[in-house]
Structure 1
Amino acid sequence: MAPEDDPPTIPFVWALVPVVALISLLAGTIIVLEGSGHIPLVLGACVAGLVAWAHGYRWEQLQDGVLSAIGLAMGAVLILLTIGVLMGTWLAAGIVPALIAWGLELMSPSWFLPATCAVCSIVSLVSGSSWSTAGTVGLALIGVGNAMGINPAMTAGAVISGAYFGDKLSPMSDTTNLAPAMAGTDLFTHIRHMLWTTGPAWTLAMIAYAVVGAGLESTAEPGSIAAITDVIRTNFQPGLVHLVVPGIVAVMVGFRLPALPTLLTGALLGGLLAGIQGMPIQDVLASAMTGFAPDTGSAQVNELLARGGMTSMSSTVLLVLCAMSFGGIMERTGQLKTLASKTLAVATSTGSLIAATVLTSIGVNVLAADQYLAVVVPGRMYAAEYAERGLDPKNLSRALEDGGTITSPLIPWNTCGAFMSTTLGVATLAYLPWCFLNLLNPIIGIVLGFTGLSIARLDQGDPQPEPQDQP
């Protein structure tokens, strides 16, 4: 048994065993049996634990890895639960119904998708949070799209593309701060360098949404849309009062207050507004806990608005815990590092090194199920290699986000994928083809790496900065 300060090294072939097991279990359960990823992730964690135990790791070390990873995800879990409450109270207070009614009156189906992406881009750029954007504005836009008869997978893709544009570029975003810290560069240098990849990806995405949207026509009868609007107006009387709570949340975001207290304040104010408008307190609490249960007299509107509540996030929270258990064991026992380090053997050129960084970040997103680890693990691994090759660390920080941040919502069992699927009510694999920004961004990053365009090098006399410890 190796001492704790000198942990055993697990060979590459053995580190590959849990990966093969997990992919096989997930494919069989999700694709063949059409089940969820919860049990495959638990079984994958068991396989990873057995491999580590066979190579000298003790149960206490495995447990510590699991608990540390879950601890890393607890912030996300709290936001998940708060978003569930916010969805319930904002629906009960008429905030989301009012936004849906106004959206139906103002938006044309042909411009709906690019407008959705643009609105979410602005909100996420200001807030720095893709989750807050999807759970507030995104939720309303999903309702508008559903009422127009637009494929909800398309709407969800446009919401997520816009939400991750800001999540990736906003100085208030946690991953935007984490990536340069891991690489050893500064925040605004990192943001400016990301414009080379994120800017073209966003432009192409907007063009794609415009092209797709140009061929869209509302499949809902004109009378049906008018009927939905009339029912909402009759039951909720949309007015300026319904902009007060979102306005307060926007002000809090503008003052760069943390996401959790901002969302919690929005949820509490939504419940207060529902009570002021005459909803019994027990119904407000039920909406916050189990979701809004409308009785508008229209089955179509009831189905449109029946969602939200803390319990609606329970399956997602469990998925996060299962995924982090697998990722925690893989990270703590060095199996992730062993797998990723193999890429350096083939990354002989600058382009292949950047491609390896992007693909490693995507791989960690798949295996560790968390975008923070997808930034931290490759950042720690490759920082010295970039410095040794004379590459400016901002190349590394950009590649970390091009692979780690942007692809996290495309993986069903990743914390981000689970959140987006639950919040927007669309399966991850259904909206994935429509997330144009998220699909294009890694490709553009790799292409720029091979062409050398925008790749910065350290000057001969420049110091080689060291990556910072994980915050």
Structure 2
Amino acid sequence: MNKNKVSKKNTYIIGVFTLVSIISCVIFRISLFYGFFSSIVLSLSILLKGGFTIEQLLYMIKNSLVECKDLFILILLIGATVPIWFSAGVIPTMMYYGFVYMQGVNLLFMVFIFTSIVSVFMGSAFAVISTVGIAILGVGKVFGIPDYILLGAIVSGAFLADKISPISGLMNLTLITTKTSYRNALSSMSRTLLPGYFFSGAVYFYLGKGYNLVLNSSDLVIMELVLKKSFYISPALLLLPVCMFILCFLGIKIIRAISLVLISGVVIAVTTQKVSLTNIFWSILAGYKGNTELEELNSILLCGGITSIVEILLIIIGAITLSSLFRGTGLIAPLVDRIIARVKSKREMVFKTSIISSILTLICDQSVGVILPGELLKNKYRELGIDNATLARTISDTGIIIAPLIPWNVNSLFILMLTGVSATTYAPYAVLCYALPLITVLSGCIEGLRKLPNSQ
């Protein structure tokens, strides 16, 4: 297939129009689907005039959508799992014990530490947010912490999975693309991760002090009694998320792990909570709504079902389609080559790698933000005498970690589907996700300055 048939002018037109249309949707609160759809139409018309055939373009789109079939299945499974976890009493049980044991602690700080540890073992930010993250948000509402602040801490901890977990798909994609061992990559990543992690922890500890409140004892007792009256509450129900944790840690694919947990959740809902299969099926489709005698509790026991994620799926399909056109037609590679053509120092290389990886994640997705810089920059890194572990670290600290901050990215759309909170509100509090890019650029500059005399 011939590539690079589109002029530089038309390449910039496509890029600028895409960014403007997407940002306009965010500003005017219009569905992102319309932004992606208009960009796809413009891109197809320009690419067809540039010499590509409709068959070639449709083939690119079809291949990308087929490659992402696991993502679509995962979204549907999680859309079904969360209502079932409510019906089975798993999340109410987490909330019950949260009310009992989380009083008087710095909840925001503890949430960041806890989710970051869990994420490394589960290997999936999606899995962390859709399980313990949902329960934590329920507890946080009762303790008066705004959901967007608490979600920022959850996102910061959860997305460590994509960055450093040995069972993360993105982590392994980074290692394979940059031809780096896990040990070397982790050693290099620790130079930026440790200061970024401690800085983020300090911020959450400071912010958390403002919400370190103890509930009125009578209100707390009422909530606990209503939960126990409305659900069968037992520590045994917590084995469901524990099993999912163990399955992910053992390397079981996330789709298979969630499917097993989903089936188990249905069985538990029927046997322990006495919920009919009809009600379970309806909650999967339309979402779960609490039906306790306490309205304050019912406002927390809420989640959407599969019908609530249809728009999100359409947006994700639009994002993947546009990304496949950018990648398949070779629109991106020449831009990357021009950016790095005159780079002569390590600090400049690290900085431009950060820019390239971030932009690719911004306009495409994380996988493109990993694969293209990894493949296109390896020779330049070798030419400058920079080890591949630095390339892996830079990609991980930028293209991977910033994804949940981008409102139209698949990750932030997934979070919106689960929580109803948009990236524009929680992003300022996802401290680690923007602390790491800043630290890695500064680190590259410092290392470059240290080596500068030797290179002259």
TM norm structure 1: 0.91
Match of 1:354 among 330, 350, 353: 350
Describe the SS at the equivalent of 1:412: coil
The residue identity in structure 1 corresponding to 2:140 is G
- 2:298 is equivalent to residue 299 of structure 1: no
- 2:324 is equivalent to residue 328 of structure 1: yes
* Unmatched tracts of structure 2, length 5 or more: none
The residue identity in structure 2 corresponding to 1:163 is A
Describe the SS at the equivalent of 1:149: coil
Tell me how far apart the structure 1 counterparts of residues 49 and 335 of structure 2 sit (CA, whole Å): 18
- 2:413 is equivalent to residue 424 of structure 1: no
Tell me how far apart the structure 2 counterparts of residues 111 and 454 of structure 1 sit (CA, whole Å): 40
CA positional deviation for 1:453: 7.2
Correspondences of 1:240-389 after superposition (within 5 Å): 240-277=235-272, 278-345=274-341, 347-368=343-364, 370-389=365-384
Tell me how far apart the structure 1 counterparts of residues 263 and 109 of structure 2 sit (CA, whole Å): 32
CA positional deviation for 1:150: 0.7
Q: Is the 8 A contact 2:185 2:389 kept in 1?
A: yes
Q: Is the 8 A contact 1:129 1:167 kept in 2?
A: yes
CA positional deviation for 1:220: 6.9
- 2:71 is equivalent to residue 72 of structure 1: no
Match of 1:435 among 417, 430, 440: 430
The residue identity in structure 1 corresponding to 2:74 is I
The residue identity in structure 1 corresponding to 2:148 is A
Correspondences of 1:165-244 after superposition (within 5 Å): 165-218=160-213, 223-244=218-239
After superposition, give the CA deviation of every residue in 1:189-233 in whole Å (9 maximum; x if it has no partner). Answer: 212211111221111111100011112255976544443333212
Change (3 A) 1:346 1:156: farther
CA positional deviation for 1:176: 0.9
The residue identity in structure 2 corresponding to 1:301 is L
Tell me how far apart the structure 2 counterparts of residues 102 and 258 of structure 1 sit (CA, whole Å): 30
CA positional deviation for 1:418: 0.8
Structure 1 window deviating more from structure 2 (224-233 vs 69-78): it is 224-233
Q: Is the 8 A contact 1:98 1:242 kept in 2?
A: yes
Describe the SS at the equivalent of 2:106: helix
State the partner residue of 2:36. 41
State the partner residue of 1:466. none
Q: Is the 8 A contact 2:152 2:430 kept in 1?
A: yes
TM norm structure 2: 0.94
Tell me how far apart the structure 2 counterparts of residues 126 and 359 of structure 1 sit (CA, whole Å): 30
Q: Tell me how large the CA RMSD over aligned residues is.
A: 2.0
Tell me how far apart the structure 2 counterparts of residues 126 and 384 of structure 1 sit (CA, whole Å): 33
After superposition, give the CA deviation of every residue in 1:350-400 in whole Å (9 maximum; x if it has no partner). Answer: 1111111111111111111x2111111111111111111121111111111
Q: Is the 8 A contact 1:375 1:400 kept in 2?
A: yes
Change (3 A) 1:7 1:212: same
Change (3 A) 1:308 1:219: farther
CA positional deviation for 1:54: 2.0
Tell me how far apart the structure 2 counterparts of residues 335 and 182 of structure 1 sit (CA, whole Å): 20
State the partner residue of 1:29. 25
Structure 1 window deviating more from structure 2 (421-430 vs 173-182): it is 421-430
Tell me how far apart the structure 2 counterparts of residues 109 and 427 of structure 1 sit (CA, whole Å): 29
CA positional deviation for 1:109: 6.4
- 2:139 is equivalent to residue 158 of structure 1: no
Describe the SS at the equivalent of 2:363: helix
Tell me how far apart the structure 1 counterparts of residues 363 and 6 of structure 2 sit (CA, whole Å): 17
Q: Is the 8 A contact 1:449 1:455 kept in 2?
A: no
CA positional deviation for 1:341: 2.5
Describe the SS at the equivalent of 1:304: coil
Tell me how far apart the structure 1 counterparts of residues 193 and 37 of structure 2 sit (CA, whole Å): 35
Paired positions, count? 451
Tell me how far apart the structure 1 counterparts of residues 304 and 260 of structure 2 sit (CA, whole Å): 16
Q: Is the 8 A contact 1:148 1:225 kept in 2?
A: no
Correspondences of 1:408-419 after superposition (within 5 Å): 408-419=403-414
CA positional deviation for 1:237: 3.2
Correspondences of 1:390-469 after superposition (within 5 Å): 390-452=385-447
Change (3 A) 1:337 1:225: farther
* Unmatched tracts of structure 1, length 5 or more: 458-471
Tell me how far apart the structure 1 counterparts of residues 222 and 323 of structure 2 sit (CA, whole Å): 49
Describe the SS at the equivalent of 2:390: helix
Structure 1 window deviating more from structure 2 (173-182 vs 244-253): it is 244-253
Change (3 A) 1:454 1:301: farther
CA positional deviation for 1:134: 0.5
Tell me how far apart the structure 2 counterparts of residues 119 and 410 of structure 1 sit (CA, whole Å): 21
Describe the SS at the equivalent of 2:83: helix
The residue identity in structure 1 corresponding to 2:137 is I
Q: Is the 8 A contact 2:344 2:384 kept in 1?
A: no
Q: Is the 8 A contact 1:100 1:140 kept in 2?
A: yes
Tell me how far apart the structure 2 counterparts of residues 456 and 308 of structure 1 sit (CA, whole Å): 54
Structure 1 window deviating more from structure 2 (22-31 vs 217-226): it is 217-226
Describe the SS at the equivalent of 1:52: helix
Tell me how far apart the structure 2 counterparts of residues 12 and 27 of structure 1 sit (CA, whole Å): 23
Q: Is the 8 A contact 2:152 2:426 kept in 1?
A: yes
Tell me how far apart the structure 1 counterparts of residues 326 and 173 of structure 2 sit (CA, whole Å): 21
Structure 1 window deviating more from structure 2 (39-48 vs 303-312): it is 303-312
- Identity %, equivalent residues: 23
Tell me how far apart the structure 2 counterparts of residues 12 and 112 of structure 1 sit (CA, whole Å): 51
Tell me how far apart the structure 2 counterparts of residues 356 and 50 of structure 1 sit (CA, whole Å): 31
Change (3 A) 1:454 1:69: farther
